[in-house]
Amino acid sequence: MLKFVTFAVKLQLNVHDLNNEACTGNVTDIRVIDFLNENGEKVEAPAVSGRMLKHWHYELLRNLGIQKDLSFCDACKIGEPVRPAILKDGKLSHEEAVKKEPGEIVKSSKIVERCAICDIHGFLAAVRETSERRSSRVMFSWLLPTLDSVSVTKQVIHSRVKSGIDFEDEKLTSQMPFNKSYASGIYGFVSAFDVDRVGLIELNLGKNISETKKEDKNSNPEDKKNDDDERQKRIKLAIEAYRHLISGKMGASLSHAIPHVDPIEILVVYSEKGPLPFPVSPIYSDYIKKTMGLVPQDSKCLFWSKDQKEVEGIEKVNSINDLFGRLLDKVR
């Protein structure tokens, strides 16, 4: 059974506007960040924050989960970021969702049982006397340009034009030019998914919901099976969400600026025994060699590259689909 998996992804993005940072007047600027190259010299370039990548993994998991009938709280069902929440009197209530019943020590088990996103992406509940926190099972780096590549940006003028039909609001101008920045480059990011902790309630002595019910003699055997099935479905869809993320569904402006994506390399390390260290980022030229020197010997490695290059000691897969198929086969 899969317990932990990491991703190191390198891809080319042309003309993207995935993460905006500032808006002044009619000018919207792309997010840039300072970092160091391999010589320790300062570099400034467009980037996408880890929060943005994590948000889009959450959004992809939500959309995939709706199709596959995953369980969600009322907040996550509609993409409301303040989670968990339940619908009460026609309004979402965060307080009602986290309020403990008489004699209840921890609310986390019921929240996790009822919502796949609260389980995998975590939550923070601090309402009145209630204070509960669940750490995310998925973790993301920033998306940064590789250190051996050139990143370019260009500011482009767009225009909103009013039709010839009269509007009541006389302040509406016939034409409103505005400027947006777009970037292109070769980028890398890393991510980790702590599969073994999906469904895990730490205060239940490290047991997940299904295992806790198995020890409860009064619980229904059918409920235990349903919990196992739900947990497997959550894990598989969380992995499947990475496939969509790699396709470019990872940021802002997708309605009018889907990035021209070309995946270059994907290194996956997984373990069926326990946690793994994070991989070395693919922004570095020798990330594969350093990652292989970092991970435990009992871990498994899969590698795909668009030029089908082979790396000693790593199993090569022929397609991205094969890579995800291998991972999903380990979920059982």
Non-local (6+) Cβ contacts of 166 within 8 A are: none
Check whether 1 has a pLDDT greater than 80: yes
CA-CA-CA-CA torsion sign (332, 58, 277, 8): positive
Predicted confidence at residue 109, as pLDDT, reads 83
Check whether 104 has a pLDDT greater than 90: no
> 325 vs 19, 97, 271, 309, CA distance in Å?
30, 36, 16, 20
Q: Name the DSSP class of 234.
A: H
* pLDDT level of residue 162 (50, 70, 90 thresholds): low
Q: CA 231 to CA 303: how far, in whole Å?
A: 27
Non-local (6+) Cβ contacts of 312 within 8 A are: none
Predicted confidence at residue 316, as pLDDT, reads 95
Q: Which of 56-60, 143-147, 221-225, 234-238 has the lowest mean pLDDT?
A: 221-225
Cα pseudo-dihedral 173, 175, 180, 182, rounded to 10: 160
Predicted confidence at residue 212, as pLDDT, reads 53
Q: Which of 3-12, 77-86, 154-163, 245-254 has the lowest mean pLDDT?
A: 154-163
Predicted confidence at residue 170, as pLDDT, reads 61
Q: Which of 26-30, 149-153, 158-162 has the lowest mean pLDDT?
A: 158-162
CB atoms within 10 A of CB 169: 5
Check whether 220 has a pLDDT greater than 60: no
